[in-house]
Amino acid sequence: MISKFIVGIVANGAGLYLVGRYVPGAHVPLTIQGLLVAAFVLTLINFLIRPILKLVFSPLIIVTLGFASLIVNGITLYILELAVPAVSFGGLTSLAYATLIMTAVNFVVHIL
């Protein structure tokens, strides 16, 4: 459980770094301390709130054959934006790009 949490922090930190570097309009702290705080909070959101969101959205996830899980990922990033003042997304477009990047990074990490 603890190793899964640490892997989650590392994966979320890598994904947030990529979002901060390459998504226009997304502001993520690129310092080690800022990334660790944001990644830690996002990992907590993924462990505590995301399962509830997936349960609530499960009918939609089933009907859309999993595509609605992107909506759940977007909501978790929006919650991160509310929880950590240093993280902000300039609008829906940058949030959508950030969601795609974070989904891809977490997909790759969970396959390995």
Q: How confident is the model at residue 101 (pLDDT cuts 50, 70, 90)?
A: very high
Q: What is the predicted pLDDT for the residue at 8?
A: 92
CA pair distance 80, 59, nearest whole angstrom: 24
% pLDDT > 70, the chain: 100
* Per-residue pLDDT, 1: 77
Length of the chain: 112
Q: Is 64 helix (H, G, I), strand (E, B) or coil?
A: coil
80 neighbors 41 (Cβ within 8 angstroms):
yes
Distances (CA, A) of 31 to 38, 85, 91, 92, 103: 11, 15, 23, 25, 22
Q: Could you give the dihedral angle defined by the CA atoms of residues 70, 24, 10 and 112, in that order, rounded to the nearest 10 degrees?
A: 50
pLDDT score at 112: 82
Dump pLDDT digits (tens) for 37-82. Answer: 999 999 999 999 999 999 999 999 999 999 999 999 999 999 999 9
**The pair of three-digit structure tokens given for residue 40, joined into one six-digit string:** 């830690």
- pLDDT reading at 89 higher than 90: yes
Predicted pLDDT at 82: 96
Number of domains into which the chain is organized:
1
Residue 50: domain span: 2-111
pLDDT of res. 110: 84
User: pTM of the entire structure?
Assistant: 0.92
Q: Residue 88 pairs with which residues in a beta bridge?
A: 27
Neighbours of 29 (CB within 10 A): 17
The answer for 23, left when phi > 0, alpha when psi is -120 to 50, beta otherwise, is: beta
